[in-house]
Amino acid sequence: MTPELHEKLLAGLKDGSIVPYLGPGVLADVRNVATGAPIPADSDSLIYAMNDGKPMAPKLMYEFPRAAMNVELKRGRSAVTKFLTRTYGETAWTRGAFHDWLKAIAPAYVVDINRDTQLQDSYAEVPHNLVVGIARIGGTDFRYKLYFWDGVAYQKSEAINPALPILFKPMGTPKPEANYIASDADYVDFITELMGGFSIPPEIKELRKGKQYLLMGLRLNRDTERMVMSDFIYAAAEPAGWVFIVAPTDKEKRFCKKVGLEIIDAELFEFIGATVPA
């Protein structure tokens, strides 16, 4: 990465022209306070954590949503929800270097496909909007819930205040309510409504026009994550942005070229000036 690109990306994140899009890799240095074990964030680690540290059948190891669907069919949807809440809402984790770095920049709009709360913790000192993805919930055409953080607690909201920071957690979070997109059935519902325009609030549809994106901690070799990301960056500028991928595969190269993302073959943690986790 050239110094010029480094400065361009930082400046864009600060002025809002570049939107950070966070994947599991941003949590690479986060550890369980009690045991020192890494936080399960990517597909494989989530499957192992959900299955008591053991692998599942090869066809289920392909992707977490498939494994979660299997658990849901056997033990009910609540079993998956309880696992994710126990993991992200009831376990103490160390603070990640990435989120300390992002807190200092304080972007006005962030998309975070992780299900942990570190992004929300970063904005706990300032009022902000929170958008949480939902799926398979009756009584509404929309696939999101809106909340407003007043500096003390979250309150349900009917609209986004564009003058305040916007945190979008499409795959869910344990707080203020435990809602998650996890199983295949969740993703089918959420992505179907995403393509139909019902998974993104109208204020964000307007806000995102002409933006560029910086994808951090996210490989683009899984179809589900690529489908979600492609719809989130709809109406982006040309080119659409950049993605950190060390040693990208041919599949990733073709996909990035198709959607207008420039690959930065470099470590994310080097970009933020932190030690790369082992």
Check: CB of residue 151 under 8 Å from CB of residue 127: yes
Alpha carbon distances (Å) from 249 to 53, 112, 207, 214, 219: 28, 23, 32, 19, 10
DSSP labels, 168-179: EETTEESSSS-E
Written as six digits, the tokens of 139 are 């009584």
pTM of the model: 0.96
How many percent of the chain have pLDDT more than 90? 95
Confidence of residue 278 (pLDDT cuts 50, 70, 90): low
Residue ranges per structural domain of the chain: 3-271
Task: Report yes or no: 117 and 91 within 8 Å, Cβ to Cβ.
Answer: no
Give the lowest-confidence range in 11-15, 136-140, 201-205, 232-236. 136-140
Question: Which tens digit of pLDDT belongs to each residue from 109-142?
Answer: 999 999 999 999 999 999 999 999 999 998 888 9
For residue 276, pLDDT over 80 is answered with: no
- Find the mean pLDDT for residues 172-193: 97
Written as six digits, the tokens of 185 are: 């059935």
Which segment of 48-52, 82-86, 222-226, 272-276 scores lowest on mean pLDDT?
272-276
Dihedral sign (CA 206, 229, 197, 239): positive
Rg (CA), the chain: 18
